Structure 1
Amino acid sequence: MRWLRYGPDAALVECESLAEMSAVRAAVVAAGLPDLVEVVPGARTVLVAARPGTRALEQVRALVERADPETADGGEPREITLDVRYDGEDLDLVARTAGISTDEVVELHTGAVYTVAFTGFAPGFGYLTGLPEPLRQSRLDTPRTRVPAGAVAIAGEFTGVYPRSSPGGWRLLGHTDAVLFDSRAERPALLAPGDRVRFRSLS
Structure 2
Amino acid sequence: MRMRPVGRNGLLLDCDDPDQVEAWRAELWRRRAAGELIAVDIVPAARTVLLDGVPDPDRTAALVAGWTPRPADPAAPTAEVEVPVTYDGEDLPLVAGHWGVDVPEVITRLTATRFRVAFCGFAPGFAYLTGLPPEWAVPRLATPRPRVPAGSVALAGEYAGIYPGASPGGWLLVGRTALTLFDVRADPPARLTPGTRVRLVSA
CA distance in 1: counterparts of 2:6 and 2:134, whole angstroms: 36
Say which SS state the counterpart of residue 104 (structure 1) adopts. helix
Q: CA deviation at 1:56?
A: 7.4
Say which SS state the counterpart of residue 140 (structure 1) adopts. coil
Q: Which residue pairs with 1:185 in the alignment?
A: 186
Q: Which residue pairs with 2:50 in the alignment?
A: 47
Q: Which residue pairs with 1:13 in the alignment?
A: 13
Moved more, 58-67 or 189-198: 58-67
Say which SS state the counterpart of residue 71 (structure 1) adopts. coil
Residue-by-residue CA offset, 1:10-67 (whole Å, 9 max, x unaligned): 2111112222111111111122253222101111111112453xx5763464335441
TM-score between the two structures when normalised by the length of structure 1: 0.89
CA distance in 2: counterparts of 1:83 and 1:72, whole angstroms: 27
Q: How does 1:108-187 map to 2 (within 5 A)?
A: 108-133=109-134, 135-187=136-188
Letter of the 1:122 counterpart: A
Identify if the C-alpha distance between structure 1 residues 64 and 23 changes in structure 2 by more than 3 Å, giving closer, same or farther: farther
Structure 1: gaps spanning 5 or more residues: none
CA distance in 2: counterparts of 1:188 and 1:196, whole angstroms: 17
Letter of the 1:23 counterpart: A
Corresponding position: 1:94 with 2:101: no
Q: How does 1:70-89 map to 2 (within 5 A)?
A: 71=71, 76-89=77-90
CA distance in 2: counterparts of 1:135 and 1:70, whole angstroms: 29
- Contact 2:148/2:167, CA 8 A, preserved across alignment: yes
- Contact 1:2/1:14, CA 8 A, preserved across alignment: yes
Letter of the 1:16 counterpart: D
CA distance in 2: counterparts of 1:117 and 1:101, whole angstroms: 28
CA distance in 2: counterparts of 1:99 and 1:180, whole angstroms: 31
- State the percentage of identical aligned residues: 45
Over aligned residues, Cα RMSD in angstroms?
A: 2.2
Structure 1 ranges of 4+ moved more than 6 A = none
